[in-house]
Chains A and B, each alone.
Chain A
């Protein structure tokens, strides 16, 4: 068992997400930064899609009740195991009773804690990812317990990976969205000419951008949206749908983030800057 002594700001279980229920309005959910989560899993020899803990900004305090191996990825979040500092992308042996706790966030926004064999949360509609209205919880609370399989011996193929550099990346690779063709030259110039900053309206559902551009006054019939879809509202607000984002929408879908760009954006927080780079598709 993994005992949650303190839950942190927003700690949740996530795997690759929920497939097959978009036509019933169920979002994908899953890791916000899939690249980092997958790397943390791979170090432990886990399936790249295995469930991990997604830790946002302020980390939890956790007690391991069985021996195992862990690795962390994503945001640089100061962490200690029994008060000894540990680093991202290293395989670390954990003994019964060890306590993992987190301190200051240095860079990025979301850290991923992988456990050998994966975290075992209930499987709902084919995924262990937390999502309110589908799973019982959308984040862990103090005192919660999560299962995992004990592991006393494991020889990793690689015990350390070079830390990701994309926490510093500010370019978001995008391709044209279905309504891209409705944008004027002025709108395009603004979209690709200057930086945007992340507004305080940012969560697993969507990231809004602080700066507005000229809005689009076209009438749309509700149609599908995806994680990474950038919508432009009539008032000129840019909304970037993320993993818990709604599956349909009625605002023009002007751009679509690449998978990597979704991971890059997932590591941004209020006030961080980004800019769009159009992928010549």
Chain B
């Protein structure tokens, strides 16, 4: 542990921002998640902090009272120096179905032209990689998935669409992700996932956590319709593998 030099800055009077080196890097994310788990389990046990990890940062927010920045900064630096390798974190690899039907994959043709690859090859590339959840934000349950192969890296659309479907699977730069609800959006849409990424009625409203991994698999339109119904009535079984980090 203590592999990185971290910076700590105030973020208003209720929050504190910890930053790791400014790179998108799985090793940095792992270090952040190990540390935040250590904070939750050992250091801030009975305190009401909300902890928001994303890419190369963690924000700690204390809504109730203003925080004493200097005091918490010192504590955090000391905790980070401690040997916290003992903390075991489970990582889950979720397998999510995507229908790349042309009705859903409205930007597939454009991506195909730009990449000089046929649609089958694009789907093959998108489903053969395993993506890491670097952050959750923008919308409830919107996951920023990193690890997109270079051949599939395209800029966001020049003009964002006013309406992107719920479940739309998009590509933007080094990232891919699923729109958890209908919303405006600028990502290149290549398919749709029938499994809701955010369900306020569920015990765990968003099953994915930062640090988990996602792999997509291709389904037909018929399977899409079936899985959609199955997940609506609560009988769809999510495929997952648990790994020890």
Contact = CB atoms under 8 A, between A and B. Distances in A.
B127 to A, nearest CB: 25
B11 A226 contact: yes
B50 A25 contact: no
B104 interface: no
Interface of B: 9-15, 17, 19, 22-24, 48, 50-57, 59, 61, 63, 69, 134-142, 144, 180-181, 198, 200, 205-206, 209-210
A89 to B, nearest CB: 25
Contact of A224 (B10, B13, B54, B200): B54
A22 B61 contact: yes
A165 interface: no
Interface string A237-281: 000000000111100010011110000000000000000000001
Given A124-B200, A246-B138, A258-B13, 10 more contacts: A22-B50, A125-B205, A133-B140, A175-B13, A178-B17, A178-B19, A222-B137, A223-B57, A256-B12, A258-B12
A135 interface: yes
16 contacts: A23-B53, A23-B209, A24-B140, A25-B180, A26-B140, A124-B200, A175-B12, A178-B19, A223-B55, A223-B59, A224-B15, A224-B52, A224-B54, A224-B137, A248-B137, A248-B138
Contact of A25 (B17, B134, B206): B206
Contacts of A21: 140, 205
Contact of B52 (A175, A247, A253): A247
Nearest to A28: B63
B135 A248 contact: yes
Contacts of B55: 221-223
Interface centre among B11, B14, B19, B138 (most CB of A within 10 A): B11
A120 to B, nearest CB: 18
Interface residues of A, number: 36
Contacts of A134: 140, 200
A228 interface: yes
A189 B166 CA distance: 44
A177 B13 CA distance: 10
B136 A23 contact: yes
Contacts of B50: 19-20, 22-23
A259 B62 CA distance: 13
A126 B23 CA distance: 35
A205 to B, nearest CB: 11
Contacts of B51: 23
